[in-house]
A and B are shown apart, each in its own frame.
Chain A
Amino acid sequence: MDVEIALRVDGRDCRLAVDTRTTLLDALRERLGVTSPKKGCDHGQCGACTVLLDGRRINSCLALAVAHQGAEVVTAAGLADGDGLHPMQQAFITHDAFQCGYCTPGQICSAVGMLAEAEAGWPSAVSTDFDAEKVVLDDGEIAERMSGNLCRCAAYANIVPAIAQAAGR
């Protein structure tokens, strides 16, 4: 059953007809040719498909495209300003925060979304001062807040410092 939807993807307005079963991830990759978000587990467990949906990080493999009519989607590719890398992208390069790179676009989108959450004062499961006004992103906080992004190469030891640098630490 096809439904007409409109999305704004990395600053580009897109209209397409999708079967209701199409996930946002499949709409991006298979229909719009936006291959920055990756299909890892396709069950919301690995985070490789992470994109920013209306400003918040989500798993695009579990989002039905029809349920996000008119949404603004930003993928890791859309974070760059032309040839100028986003500070998070640059930090991943500086710290060599990947090996195979498959999880990287998801890691970067997730990290950007996570910094905005921390900036808004959201606590995490490891926050010791639960009602603190300001979140201090130490390594433990970064690891907990990024636990929805798996890296099979286990580049975590470099991902955490990369995110810490982008967070201004």
Chain B
Amino acid sequence: MRPFAYQQPGDVLEAVGMLAAAPDGTFLGGGTNLVDLMRLGVATPDVLVDVRRLTSDRIEELPGGALRIGAAVTNSDLAADRRVRRQYPVVSQAVLSGASGQLRNMATTGGNLLQRTRCAYFQDLTTPCNKRSPGTGCSALHGYNRELAIVGWSRECCATHPSDMAVAMTALGAVVRTHGPDGERAIPVTELYQLPGDTPERDTVLGHGELITSVDLPALSFGANSHYRKVRDRASYAFALVSVAAALDVADGLVRDVRLALGGVAPRPWRATRAEDALRGEPATGQRFRYAAAAELADARPLSGNAFKVPLAVNLIVSVLLELAGGQP
């Protein structure tokens, strides 16, 4: 591991200033992904600015019913919060479906959003990878790509974003609040992540030294009728092959409103707007759910090893929506 200086700033402004002065430095949250990447030689910061105790570790209610989650709230505390469990069960379920009890006790909300892909080539210094070493090529494109993307990828990179939490937040339209060298801003989580295009080394739109300070979950009248389901190779403690986060509002047999996002299928949490549009105002039936799911996946371009993800994603969307509509899962 490359030697690094460890810095503990007293407040957010100081932290942002410290990193602005350290072009090869990075923020340290819970460290569950970063420390591992440093050990693997994938991340080589020369300065770590510890922000774990800087941002809020509380969840507050905002006027109008939204919840503001401090960036330092651990994954465990987020999932266990009674308000989150009642208002947005999809968020609790997504968090609890990821990692292990030990890791969730360490990992923070901000850090979870910024974790890197688990593509095997990204984590293996002996192989080419455009995300890790721009210009070296993508080993996964014609290599082992069973877990990787079916939508949104480019020839430069077909890795998937690994977070479960971010998929639920994407479905709900959460807003990420940041503090950087240029001040504060609010970024819809749907705009936080960039598709790889020809710059796969950049996962997000955040600038160097821009710190996530909190995440707002907007008030959603039907948030309580939400669910996260994840399909993976083991029953627990594995990354998603495909996951679905959904919230559904049905009245008189019609879909009044819906929020839908997919995990494990794209370089970012995938908001399924096409399926949502195909559902609003339409009958809440399995047939309609299947039509909408198929519409969302119509442009999918599976890789050599993951064509199974297309029907899996369609079936999973139908199953979760049926369950939320009150039918049998």
Q: A interface vs B, CB < 8 Å?
A: 1, 3, 19-21, 23, 42-44, 47, 50, 56-59, 62-64, 66-67, 110, 113-114, 117, 120-125, 130-131, 143-149
Contact = CB atoms under 8 A, between A and B. Distances in A.
Nearest to B123: A43
Contacts of B205: none
B117 to A, nearest CB: 15
Contacts of B50: 67
A47 B101 CA distance: 10
Contact of A62 (B35, B79, B80, B93): B35
A21 B1 contact: yes
Interface stretch (B11-19, B81-89, B186-194): B81-89
Given A62-B106, A125-B97, A43 B39 contact: yes
A151 B108 CA distance: 27
Given A21-B1, A64-B28, A131-B86, A148 B103 contact: yes
Nearest to B96: A125
Contacts of B52: 67
Interface in B234-268: 235-237
A114 B102 CA distance: 9
12 contacts: A20-B5, A20-B6, A21-B4, A58-B105, A63-B31, A63-B106, A67-B50, A67-B52, A113-B101, A114-B101, A144-B235, A147-B235
Range of interface residues on B (Cβ < 8 Å): 35 or more
Contact of A20 (B3, B76, B102, B106): B3
Interface of B: 1, 3-6, 28, 31-32, 35-36, 38-39, 48, 50, 52, 76, 79-80, 82, 85-86, 89, 92-93, 96-97, 99-103, 105-106, 235-237
Nearest to A23: B35
A148 B85 contact: no
Contacts of B1: 21
B36 A43 contact: yes
Nearest to A122: B80
A130 B6 contact: no
A130 B106 contact: no
Contacts of B4: 1, 20-21
A148 B6 contact: no
A123 B91 CA distance: 12
Contacts of B237: 147-148
Given A64-B35, A67-B31, A144-B236, A110 B6 contact: no
Contacts of B97: 125
Nearest to A109: B102
A143 B236 contact: yes
Contacts of A117: 76, 80, 101
Contacts of B76: 56, 117, 122
